[in-house]
Structure 1
Amino acid sequence: MSSAPNAGPSPGKVLVVGGCGFLGGHIVNLLLKQHPRTQIAVVDLRTTSNRNSHANVSYHDGDITDLAAVTTLFSQIRPDAVIHTASPHFNAPNHVHDKVNVEGTKNLLKAAQDTGVKAFVYTSSASVILGPETQIVNADEKWPLVTGAAQPEYYTTTKAYAETAVLEANRTPAHFLTCAIRPAGIFGEGDVQLLPKMVTALRKGQNKFQLGDNNNLFDFTYVENVAHGHILAVQALLTSHAMLPTIPLDTEKVDGEAFFITNGQPVYFWDFARAVWHEGGDTLPLSGVWHLQYDFAFAVGALLEWILWALGKTPSLTRQQVRYSTMDKYHNIDKARKRLGYEPLVDLDEGVKRGVRYIVEQEKRESEKKGQ
């Protein structure tokens, strides 16, 4: 599969919030690939990374927690559509998640409503349905959100609150259409959380260990496919906007809806890790892998967290890592396929090759710099 140009309608003038981040940068690049004449504006706290030099892209420094500044930017840019990908790092303090994910999203909604934006697409998270004991097995969008005390990750709670605000804002006013994209396990060139940690584990020799029996299916999603889902959502909202005041059938409706986006290829967790390690140069046979059972690994993770917390350090194994690498977590993307026309552009194997190749090339450049 390859990222052939999309034959869908032009998305008009698009504002990508967080467009200098990992996902946002890929959305900008794919928009240009599929619609080279589209006018794109990027708003980010600092627009220094992942910049695209294309003449149709403009960059604007802006803080989404400042409503007046956001409104001024929207008044200047006058976008037809907004794609909101901005979010703090997963491990940021709780008050930062509140301020950016919840308050910042509400500021963007207000500015969009006040300046005539037609379509607003929010990057949510597949984890908004994940509870502390839940196994996610072929989950669809009917599964309830898990928030507050029932949600172990505060970041995820604020993503769910922001998603709810976005969907509740749909058709207020009547010409303002919104939806949410819920990606699962994003990886690819420039990711800072998934592939780099796995490659680092390989470099440290941690590929010798496996937690659990590797019978748990997990969704990993190549970043260009997530970008594709966002662009399809914008196009679908703009198509619905052009048909106003007609309201689509419930089975076709995109506005006011959430959509899981994955590669549609659930894979056993450690098979994915080994595919990454193989691309990174791993030659260890399966017979050389030590299997650590869940209860033992969980206890070790808890002990390491406690000891290293006391020392002000971060452990290499945590209870969260043990849980994530031994649980089922995969989703049903039929709704996105039927209503958005979504199909992954890049399959899992090709995505792994691209992502790891990017890291290896970075390592090579860093090594050459040190050798100068």
Structure 2
Amino acid sequence: MSVQGPSPSLGKVLITGGCGFLGHHIVNLLVQRHPATQIAVLDLRTNLNRSSSSTVSYHDGDITDADAIKSLFAQIKPDVVIHTASANLISKNEVHYKVNVEGTQNLLKAAQEAGVKAFVYTSSASVIYNPKIELKNADETWPMVTGDDQPEYYTATKAYAETAVLEANRTPASFLTCAIRPAGIFGEGDVQLLPKMVTAFRKGQTKFQVGDNDNLFDFSYVENIAHGHLLAVQALLHTHKMLPTVPLDTERVDGEVFFLTNGQPVYFWDFARAVWHEAGDRLPLSSVWHLGQDFAFFVGGMLEWIFWILGKTPNLTRQQVKYSTFTRYYSIDKAKRKLGYSPIVDLDEGVRRGVRYILEKEEREKQKKGQ
């Protein structure tokens, strides 16, 4: 599918977390596709990843401050909210709950009172993750995993927030909501995935592999996820124009959730090696040491204990072993069918763009130090 050309205005769009990784890509794509749209970005700090477009305004704010959010909505009067803001993964549990759950509830209340038409929430594909069951072509009919069964409290709070967003749909009748569940997002500005893989290459760790590399995994280029969010906004606004008519279940977007990926599940270590190759790694596969999953899990546990005593984090943890050997990929048929979604950038090109961004940034920093 080719990139869409400029389209009509979507009105006033508020993007929470719009200076973050995914958020600023949504801003950029929105500016490109809908240049007449007025965009307001809300973030804790808005000094990074800013657009130079005159159609974008920036507002420092905290979504856990209900009064401040209500005041901002009264000032901006948005037609659309795209809610990407969330707590940092390494934050404490109480912060996860306060930001992800209570912050989302504050936004929903303010949006309902301000007459917002469409509310798109960035959830997570991990909300259905159960460490005992591999995810093979998992779709939206799979149950969410929360409480004691969910190993990641952060993910549990994303699930609670998603539930709140869907329950708010059509309350009032003109308020339409949906949720997007992306998986393994990477790309320019990524701080979780690609930088760690490039660092592993720099440390000479590409000669190790955990497991047999027989587990398919979904990685998603960030522009595709941004593209899916905009399709969801357009679909909700289209439904809003049809009110009070309710679409057929086969066409309905409001009150629904959608998995979004590149639609190209790959073997986990194949993706890692594609990243390393782009970064300059030329190690032949014959030189790679294979660590058995059980052995690596044991070593990871030992290292965690030793490094805990030292007050540090080891390079190999049990969580990393589990992550790199687990089958985890999703069906995007629903998004294709109801949103008209199709990835606009394939996996190889996404890897090229993401790694090139890191290398060029490193080169600029080197030159800056040399001045």
Category of TM-score, reference length = shorter chain:
over 0.9
TM-score (norm 2): 0.98
CA-CA distance at 1:128 after TM superposition: 0.2
Question: 2-side partners of 1:306 and 1:371: how far apart?
Answer: 41
User: Greater CA deviation, 331-340 or 299-308?
Assistant: 299-308
- Other structure's SS at 1:265 match: coil
CA contact under 8 A between 2:6 and 2:35: conserved in structure 1?
A: no
Quote the residue 1:205 is aligned against: 204
Question: 2-side partners of 1:173 and 1:46: how far apart?
Answer: 32
Q: Deviations over 1:101-121 (max 9, x none)?
A: 000000000000000000000
CA-CA distance at 1:365 after TM superposition: 1.4
CA contact under 8 A between 1:10 and 1:235: conserved in structure 2?
A: no
CA contact under 8 A between 2:9 and 2:35: conserved in structure 1?
A: no
TM-score (norm 1): 0.98
For the aligned residues, what is the CA RMSD? 1.0
CA-CA distance at 1:10 after TM superposition: 3.6
Question: 1-side partners of 2:88 and 2:293: how far apart?
Answer: 27
CA contact under 8 A between 2:120 and 2:178: conserved in structure 1?
A: yes
Quote the residue 1:101 is aligned against: 100
CA-CA distance at 1:275 after TM superposition: 0.4
- Other structure's SS at 1:52 match: coil
Q: Deviations over 1:168-187 (max 9, x none)?
A: 00000100000000000000
CA contact under 8 A between 1:2 and 1:346: conserved in structure 2?
A: no
Quote the residue 2:3 is aligned against: 3
Q: Which amino acid aligns with 1:247?
A: V
Q: Deviations over 1:98-153 (max 9, x none)?
A: 11000000000000000000000000000000012120100000000000100000
Q: Deviations over 1:51-93 (max 9, x none)?
A: 0010000000111000000000001001110000001111111
CA-CA distance at 1:318 after TM superposition: 1.0
Quote the residue 1:154 is aligned against: 153
Q: Deviations over 1:259-300 (max 9, x none)?
A: 000000000111100000010000100001000010011111
Is 1:357 matched up with 2:356?
A: yes
Question: 2-side partners of 1:352 and 1:365: how far apart?
Answer: 20
Question: 2-side partners of 1:349 and 1:229: how far apart?
Answer: 19
* Count of aligned pairs: 371
How do 1:60-99 residues align onto structure 2 when only pairs under 5 Å count? Answer: 60-99=59-98
- Other structure's SS at 2:82 match: strand
Quote the residue 1:261 is aligned against: 260
Quote the residue 1:178 is aligned against: 177
Is 1:141 matched up with 2:113?
A: no
- Other structure's SS at 2:280 match: coil
Question: 2-side partners of 1:234 and 1:147: how far apart?
Answer: 27
For structure 2, list consecutive stretches of 5 or more residues without a partner in the other structure: none
Q: Which amino acid aligns with 1:32?
A: V
Quote the residue 1:45 is aligned against: 44
- Other structure's SS at 2:325 match: coil
